[in-house]
Chains A and B, each alone.
Chain A
């Protein structure tokens, strides 16, 4: 047992990627229900392996190993923090998708499961890749897997949305590539760890390149105003594609932005330009996402727009470029993950499409109601929730750096949160139930329970977050401490 654990730890960098890939291949070959179980187990294994490393390095302060796997991987603070989060979100989303798989044709189940694991593989790869080429390939893998999942698993209504996603993603990829080219021209390397020490020929060009790269990923993370594709992608509520895209896809892309920014926004020569670009984009995303969430009539879209507002907060944290800023970004990322699990899970459990379907859901489906409510209050930034903690850390880091307006943006997001979150809670608990319940009604609906329960527990974690804060702080410090 110990030997197996040691072996696992020796190959901890590569193992999650192998598990995800092999899991995807096996899931393709299995009968439908079995493929669901297998994929869930594979994601859980990934979560276990990555969490083991994270706990050892970020909490127990074990030294970071040097990777010698023969593949270009690089472990850093943000990758270490975000990987287990990513894997856990994927495992919960996969488990939950068992409840809504019946929405799609039975013969496509194995393909859908394999595509989810491909997404996990892609985002984990992008969080561990050593150079920008690796990051590009990994992001493309994840993104195209999510487009394919939407296109091939969600009936014909999703086809238009998939095409929009594909178009937006193509633009994002082109921008990313263009950025990488310009960046390479002036920095002379694609290696992430070499950026800090590289001799930079033209700081402006390098900053432009870095900005384009981040813009390319931000497009895929659904950062407003670049989230045009979201409206089409989230037309159907309960389907597995929306569930996975809203959770795994968004969190993965945001984690990659935070990681990339950890290398470029902290560079003394180009950091300032990148910071400004990130701050502008972040501020815009907070405002636009909040306003759109207030006006949304569809729960999954509301969750996506609220997510865009949160993503804006994350960009603001990252723009600070300080260890405290990165720690705050990671806390916010965790908060967003919990809220997304709660809202998308709740929407799937209740079959909630338009907000009217929420009426009286709190009594008909108590767990789903509780999850949506906790997601809503976390998005409001109500104290003692994870959402509040993330915003508080942002304000602390922002005010420390003299960025008062960041506090303003946070308060704007909270105020908008009061409106759209309050509306959700009012419908859940203070309206009479409407005509019919659209959610899954068979025994498989219990597959959603872990996701809903985990989201509630995670949000309640805001009451005593010492462990999370320690991990985030050491991730931020490790990220920047590695630089001279």
Chain B
């Protein structure tokens, strides 16, 4: 096993670790910013992995674009959350939604 292959594998392993850590944060975090950071991290891991595995450039560019759009939409949503609720934590916004529902129409 040459050093190059070893390096590739090491990079790929690091990419996987990044992906997994990011995925956990993106999936389970209550905080909007942390969720976005998770998305960015996991996509970064995926792109790094693609690079290490020698994927075509077109795919890398597509992935980078996707990450950009995801973060843009995520940022817009976060800003609106902050504007509408004054909070970006899921429990707080859920609480506010429940309060909205109470005096309104029947559940």
Interface size range on A against B? 35 or more
Known contacts being A137-B62, A166-B35, A184-B53, is A177 close to B77, with CB within 8 Å? no
Chain A, residue nearest B16 (CB)? A178
Q: What does the 1/0 interface line of B31-69 toward A look like (CB < 8 Å)?
A: 010011011001101110110111110110011011001
> How far in angstroms is the closest Cβ of chain A from B51?
8
Whether A144 touches B62, Cβ cut-off 8 Å, given contacts A151-B80, A174-B19, A180-B55, is no
Q: How far is the CA of A202 from the CA of B76 in the complex (A)?
A: 43
What's the least CB distance linking B79 to chain A, in Å? 10
**Whole-angstrom CA separation of A171 from B35 in the bound complex:** 11
Mark each residue of chain A from 151 to 189: 1 if its CB lies under 8 Å from any CB of chain B, else 0.
110001101101100111111011101101110110000
The answer to whether A167 touches B38 (Cβ under 8 A) is yes
Interface residue? B90 (CB, 8 A): yes
User: Given A136-B63, A151-B77, A160-B90 in contact, is the A173-B46 Cβ separation under 8 Å?
Assistant: yes
Q: Which residue of A lies closest to B28 (CB)?
A: A167
A177 near B47 with CB under 8 A, answer yes
Q: How far is the CA of A335 from the CA of B15 in the complex (A)?
A: 40
For residue B39, which residue of chain A has the nearest CB?
A170
Identity of the chain A residue whose Cβ is nearest the Cβ of B84 in the assembled complex: A156
Q: A353 — nearest CB in chain B belongs to which residue?
A: B107
> Would you call A151 and B73 a contact (CB within 8 A)?
yes
- Asked if residues A177 and B84 are in contact (CB atoms below 8 Å), the reply is no
B23 and A174: CB pair below 8 A? Answer: yes
Name the residue on A nearest B107 (C-beta): A354
Complex Cα gap A127–B20 (Å): 29
Bound form: Cα–Cα A156–B85 in Å: 8
A184 touches B73 (CB 8 A): no
Check A171–B70 contact: CB distance below 8 A: no
Asked if B62 and A163 make an inter-chain contact with CB atoms under 8 angstroms apart, the answer reads no
> Closest B-chain residue to A157, C-beta based?
B97
Q: Are the C-beta atoms of B90 and A136 separated by less than 8 Å? A: no
What B residues does A177 contact at CB under 8 A?
43, 46-47, 49-50, 59, 63
Is residue A51 contacting chain B, with contact meaning CB distance below 8 A?
no
- The answer to whether B94 touches A160, judged by C-beta atoms less than 8 angstroms apart, is yes
| B38 x A170 contact (CB < 8 A) | yes
A228 lies within 8 A of chain B by Cβ: yes
Query: CA–CA, A2 to B73, complex, Å?
Result: 45
Contact A167 B39 (CB under 8 A): yes
Does B106 touch A at the CB level, under 8 Å?
yes
Q: CB < 8 Å: which of A137, A162, A228, A436 contacts B105?
A: A436
Residue in A144, A163, A190 whose beta carbon sits within 8 Å of that of B35 in the complex: A163
Q: Does B81 reach chain A (CB closer than 8 Å)?
A: yes
Instruction: Give the chain A neighbours of B77 by CB distance below 8 A.
Output: 151, 159, 162-163, 166
> Considering the chains assembled together, what is the distance between the CA atoms of A273 and B84 in angstroms?
48
Q: How many B residues touch A, CB cutoff 8 Å?
A: 50
B32 near A163 with CB under 8 A, answer: yes
Q: What's the Cα separation between A298 and B66 when bound, in Å?
A: 33
Residues of A377-435 whose CB lies within 8 A of B: 434-435
- Chain A, residue nearest B70 (CB): A170
Interfacial chain B residues near A160, Cβ < 8 Å: 81, 90, 93-94, 97
The proximity string for A residues 421-453 relative to B, scoring 1 for CB distances below 8 Å and 0 otherwise, is: 000000000000011101000000000000000
Contacts of B106 in A (CB 8 A): 354, 356-357, 434-436
Task: Contact check, B100 vs A170: say whether CB atoms are below 8 A apart.
Answer: no
A198 proximal to B (CB < 8 A):
no
Contact A190 B59, beta carbon cutoff 8 Å: yes
A140 and B69 within 8 A (CB) = yes
A467 within 8 A of B: no
Bound Cα distance from A111 to B73, whole angstroms: 14
**Known: A140-B66, A353-B107. Is A159-B81 also a contact (CB below 8 A)?**
yes
Asked whether, in the complex, the Cβ of B105 is within 8 Å of the Cβ of A438, the reply is yes
Closest chain A CB from B82 CB (angstroms) = 10
Whole-angstrom distance between the Cβ of A282 and the nearest chain B Cβ: 22
Which residues of the partner chain A approach B27 to less than 8 Å between Cβ atoms?
Answer: 167-168, 171, 228
Residues of A within 8 A of B39 (CB): 166-167, 170-171
Which residues from chain B sit less than 8 Å from chain A, CB to CB? 15-16, 19, 22-23, 26-27, 29, 32, 35-36, 38-39, 42-43, 45-47, 49-50, 52-56, 58-59, 62-63, 65-66, 69-70, 73-74, 76-78, 80-81, 84-85, 90, 93-94, 97, 100, 105-107
Identify the 6 closest CB pairs spanning chains A and B, nearest first.
Answer: A170-B39, A177-B46, A174-B46, A174-B42, A181-B53, A167-B26
A residues sitting closer than 8 Å to B (CB atoms) are 132-133, 136-137, 140, 144, 147-148, 151-152, 156-157, 159-160, 162-163, 166-171, 173-175, 177-178, 180-182, 184-185, 190, 228, 235, 353-354, 356-357, 434-436, 438
Known: A166-B39, A185-B55, A228-B27. 15 other contacts (CB 8 A): A133-B62, A144-B70, A156-B81, A160-B81, A166-B73, A170-B39, A171-B26, A174-B22, A174-B42, A177-B43, A177-B49, A177-B59, A180-B55, A181-B52, A354-B107
